[in-house]
């Protein structure tokens, strides 16, 4: 019953008019701003708002991320360290080696 009362009350409300300047067509839904997708796409004020918003977001300066330092000295040979780590590894797993020859 409460739902029917709400529906009847919403029918009595005046329909909103499209927000695009020069358009006098009422909107189809209570939450809509424009009467149609085409009217929304050609609204110059909407395009100006979107352009301004995009310019604001592109002006935002991102903070520099902290650089990673690996702490490799010139006396230390990084390639030797990598080869020590990979000594136990094989390029081809033991079970797959028969397929490589």
**Separation between Cα atoms, residue 16 and residue 32, nearest integer Å:** 9
pLDDT band at 87; cut points 50, 70, 90: confident
What pLDDT digit, counting tens, does each position of 68-82 carry? 666 655 557 777 777
Domain that holds residue 48: 13-57
What pLDDT digit, counting tens, does each position of 9-33 carry? 556 667 889 999 999 999 999 899 9
Could you give the number of structural domains in the chain? 1
**Which of 33, 39, 4 is closest to 16 using CA atoms?**
33
Residue environment code for 54-78, b if the CB has 16+ CB neighbours within 10 A, otherwise e: eeeeeeeeeeeeeeeeeeeeeeeee
pLDDT at residue 45 greater than cutoff 70: yes
Evaluate whether residue 76 is within a structural domain: no
pTM above 0.85, yes or no: no
Evaluate whether residue 48 is within a structural domain: yes
Evaluate whether residue 72 is within a structural domain: no
Evaluate whether residue 97 is within a structural domain: no
**Which of 33, 36, 30, 38 is closest to 13 using CA atoms?**
30
DSSP string, 30-45: TT-SSSSHHHHHT-HH
Evaluate whether residue 30 is within a structural domain: yes
């Amino acid at each position: 019953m409460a739902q029917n009362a709400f529906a009847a009350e919403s029918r009595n409300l005046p329909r909103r008019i499209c927000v695009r300047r020069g358009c006098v067509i009422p909107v189809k839904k209570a939450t809509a701003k424009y009467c149609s997708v085409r009217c929304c796409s050609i609204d110059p004020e909407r395009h100006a708002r979107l352009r301004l918003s995009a310019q604001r977001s592109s002006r935002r300066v991102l903070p520099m991320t902290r650089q990673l330092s690996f702490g490799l000295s010139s006396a230390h040979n990084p390639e030797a360290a990598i080869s020590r780590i990979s000594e136990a590894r094989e390029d081809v797993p033991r079970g797959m080696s028969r397929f490589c020859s």
